[in-house]
Amino acid sequence: MCKPLCRSWNNASGCTRSRNKSGANRGGDDVPFFACGLSCVMHPRNPHCPTMHFNYRYFETEGGTWWFGGGTDITPSYIDEEYMKNFHGTYKEVCDRHDPEYYPKFKKWADDYFLIKHRGERRGLGGIFFDDLNDRDPDEIFEFCRDCANNVVSAYGPIIEKHKNDPYTEEEKRWQQLRRGRYVEFNLVYDRGTIFGLKTNGRTESILMSLPETARWEYDQHPEPGSPEADFLDAAMNPREWV
């Protein structure tokens, strides 16, 4: 599901901060703001096809402070190393076209941001993530965001084409549902966009559009050592360098 975001001036109170380049913070004051962006999430039914999410956004306060944020990340249930290299490699190429420091910085930012702290594991296998980006001409950053969004298909499409018709077992589907439980936990507990949207009286149905259709939880569940599921969990706990 894709969700375009385009808001006129609204007030945010207590849940966001007015930023400027000197670091001034107006704390809990009302902050009139403008926001626009695009969010998209894909939750395929086949457990061999990863979930993918991207979001690129622009914020501007009434006082003239502005910034861009966003990223693209992938959440498989099983690791296909060739296509993980393609996904991360595509975004490294995009980043390198704009700033060679972007990919290592934004890849680590994604690994840190998507950590489910109470589990000690990431939601998925990362990608790129950034926020508060206003260190250069806004047109340059907009072109970077546009380049990122325009490369979602080349980063994500090949793995879907490869696996969309794969057969799968009930156990593989069960594992996918358990991982989607982790997806729900992150989005409802830690995701900044979800928290911000709910606290600014946004449209609830749109804010929660990123959640999967179904999910599962089991008490104290652990994958069998040496299994593909255990390999995925290790990668979620210990981020890997794919390119």
Does 53 qualify as catalytic in the annotation? yes
Q: How far is Cα 236 from Cα 116, in angstroms, rounded to an integer? A: 10
CA 217 to chain centre: 22
Q: How far is Cα 172 from Cα 231, in angstroms, rounded to an integer? A: 14
Q: What does 191-219 look like in DSSP terms, one character per residue?
A: -HHHHHHHHTT--HHHHGGGS-S-----T
Active-site annotation holder among 43, 48, 53, 163: 53
The answer for residues whose C-beta is within 8 angstroms of residue 127's C-beta and 6 or more apart is: 71, 72, 73, 74, 87, 88, 91, 107, 110
β-pairing verdict for 115-116 and 121-122: antiparallel
Q: How far is Cα 173 from Cα 15, in angstroms, rounded to an integer? A: 38
Looking up tokens 């709910």 gives: 198
In 114-237, which ranges are continuous DSSP H helix?
A: 138-150, 152-163, 170-189, 192-199, 204-207, 228-237
β-pairing verdict for 66-75 and 115-116: unpaired
CA dihedral sign of residues 230, 183, 155, 70: negative
The catalytic site residues sit at 53
